[in-house]
Every structure is written in C-alpha cells, then in structure tokens.
Structure 1
C-alpha cells in the first residue's frame, strides 16, 4: 500500500463526517485531514483496508489521496446512503475511481464504473486507459466505436491487458475491412450509374437525329 510521509509541521484537521470518538483507526489525507474510522467496517466492505501492518488502536495511517477523494470514498464503507457522484467533474471522478480500485472499496468501484460511462464521448482515451488498467472490458468495448479510427500506435501504451488489446485489434480490423468493402460497393454503384447515364445520353442523341 502506498503511504506518504506526514507533514509534521502542519496541524491536522478532523473530517466533519468521520470523527467518531470510538474509532479505532485514523487515516490522514495528503492535505492533513484525519478520518476516524472503524476497522470492522473496513474489513467487511473492502478488500484492501485496513492495512495489514496496522495493529495498534488509533494508529494513524497516511494516505497519498486528498481529503476530497477520501471523504467520498469512506462514505461507501458504512451502512448509509451512498453519496451521489453526478456533480463530480471527470478528473475528480477518476481520482475517486482509482482510489476505489486501489483499496478495493467495491461499492465505490461499481458507482464509479457507471458514472464513468457518462464521460465516454468526451474522455474516451482516459476511459480506455482506466478500463485496460483495471480490466473493465465493458468500458473498453463502449469506446471502441469512438476511437476506432485512432491509430493503434497511439493506444498501444494504454492497452496493457492482452485480452483487451486483442479484442480492440479485431474490432478495428473488422471496421477497416467493412470500410474498404463499403468503398468498393460505392465505387461499383458509381460505375453502374455512370454507364446508365452514358447509355441514356446516347439514346437521346440518336432520338434527336
């Protein structure tokens, strides 16, 4: 787990939402906000929290994420209504999605997945990179039609999953083959139309004589 070195000169603040007196673990964000949490909730609702090396109650763990990201993330580990993500801009949503995947906060992973789909047309490359990194094949398939004309050389570094890269390559090949076939058919129709027009012109010329 990636931890950061705390800023010893800064006085930490407490989160307004997560400040329970009976908390048994404290998470401190990169901007010095402390979240007082309960290990049982973290263990029951996540696959990556609390850190395995935490043994003492009230021990402080330092996370590299900001307080804005963590305050949203930790709302998914308690039995309460989950926060709405509809007002999040794309960059903030992506930070939350990465944190959810990193700490395996499964409810947040699902919520972010569906919200990310709303940005597929405006941020297709970032969506594809996220999908490849975390093996979200459905997200990758969603942006295939949007990025199908993008050269593979521009995408190869953000398609780390062999299966996603294979599927993407096959989809693009089918698209290119169809485009070539459509072009051939269009050219054939044009030739037939040209011949018909020429024949009609010849008939009209003979009629005038």
Structure 2
C-alpha cells in the first residue's frame, strides 16, 4: 500500500480520532469554540500539564483553553497511541504561526511526545524566524537553539530586534550585539596571518567575514580557513555565545 503524499494526511489524523468519543471524561473548548472530548488515561500518560485530578468528572463540564482549534487538533494527537504527524510534513502543511503555537502549547501542557518534535520543527525554521525562535528557545531552555538563533539575528536591524524581545533579554542582547559589532570593526583594522587553501581566495574570505556580523560570530566556531592573530582569536573566544550573556 502506498502512502499519500498530501501534507494534510500527516497533520489531520486527529480528524480520524474525532475527539468526540462518547466515553470521554474531559471536554476542552478551544478559543474559537470547538469542543475536544478526551480520555483522562491519555492525559495522565501523555502530558504533565493536564492533571486529571483537578478536573470535574461532571459530564457537562467544559474546560476552556486559550489555544485555537487548529493548534489543539494537532497537539492532542500526541496524547493518543496513533500515528503522529511527520516532522517533514509539519513544515509544509501548517504556517509558522501554527507551528510556533503548537510548540508553545506542547511546552505549556508538557505534552511529552510533541515537545521534542516541535523543538526540531522550530529549528528547521531558524533562518526565516530567528527572533521568534530565540524567544521560544530561551523560555524553554533550549540553549543550543538559542545560540544558533542569536547568531542569525545579529544581521537584523538592532532597533527592530529590541522591539520584539522581552524586557529581560533586552540588556543581554544589547551587550551581545555590541560585542560582536565591535569585534567586526576590529577585524577591519587588524592584520591576519592567513592560511591559503587550494582554489580558495583569502581576500574573499576576509570580505565575507566583514560583510555580516553573523559570519564573524559563526566564525569563532571554526577558524580553519584563516590563521587569526592570537589576540583577535582570544577576543572572539571571550565574547562567547548569547546564552552566556543571560
């Protein structure tokens, strides 16, 4: 039997579940009014943020949630022993807004099967949404993703980034951005001992490094293309990653 190539097939398996079982014990209501009827046993096993003991067992009890039905439909699939949405299909089938919303909800409600999947799905969108992913990664302790997003965000307009960041990240970001910007300026006034690679133009390498702050910051991870002046290399190492500024 061949698999369907439709991205929706990997996302809307919840429609097959229905979330309307007559023997369900808990009913959730999305922000746009859709009802989701779930079984307590799946909440107990699959999530840490939905303590079943805190919910009334009254059959007519409805628990309102702030998330949309589109978000909850995807999220709740990870509570049931069924085939879950595929990571590659996630990137194609839903917008970044929904992806980010599900990722946030997975962390909020501790839906274990979804947390890692959506962290990786967010990482796949790193180049398109570095600021949003930096905020998400910092909030939930994904340090590697946080530092990767910070490097890319160095090239964004400083004022624009500061307007998006939560207050507690504003000063760390200002310090981090200033450190790498100053280092980039220093590159232009410093002489390098260069290691020549076959078919590789050292001048082009230097030009690229001084064209974007992110390339300078990323370069500290791999100095194989250029023999840096010892003092400059030590200065770059001393700046470190964004997570060290928080």
Q: Residue 143 of structure 1 aligns with which residue?
A: 149
2: CA distance between counterparts of 1:156 and 1:65?
25
SS at match of 1:36: strand
2: CA distance between counterparts of 1:63 and 1:70?
9
Structure with more strand by fraction: 1
Q: Aligned ranges for residues 98-177 of structure 1 at < 5 Å?
A: 98-149=104-155, 150-151=157-158, 154-155=161-162, 158=165, 172=177, 175-177=180-182
Q: C-alpha displacement at 1:186, in angstroms?
A: 5.7
Residue number among 63, 68, 87 corresponding to 1:61 in the alignment: 63
1: CA distance between counterparts of 2:97 and 2:53?
30
SS at match of 1:19: coil
Q: Residue 32 of structure 1 aligns with which residue?
A: 33
1: CA distance between counterparts of 2:163 and 2:37?
42
SS at match of 1:97: helix
Q: Which has the larger radius of gyration?
A: 1
Q: Residue 184 of structure 1 aligns with which residue?
A: 189
Extract structure 1 runs of 4+ deviating beyond 6 A.
Answer: none
Q: Residue 23 of structure 1 aligns with which residue?
A: 24
Gap regions ≥5 residues in structure 1: 1-14, 188-209
How large is the Cα RMSD of the aligned pairs?
A: 2.9
SS at match of 1:31: coil
The one-character-per-residue Cα deviations of 1:63-89 (angstroms, maximum 9, x if unpaired) are 122211111111001112111323221
- Kindly tell me: are residues 62 and 159 of structure 1, through their superposed partners in 2, closer, same or farther at Cα, counting changes over 3 Å? closer
SS at match of 1:155: helix
Q: Aligned ranges for residues 195-206 of structure 1 at < 5 Å?
A: none
Say how many residue pairs are matched.
171
2: CA distance between counterparts of 1:141 and 1:126?
13
2: CA distance between counterparts of 1:151 and 1:30?
35
Higher deviation after alignment, 50-59 or 136-145: 50-59
SS at match of 1:35: strand
Higher deviation after alignment, 69-78 or 85-94: 85-94
Q: C-alpha displacement at 1:51, in angstroms?
A: 5.5
Q: Residue 81 of structure 2 aligns with which residue?
A: 79
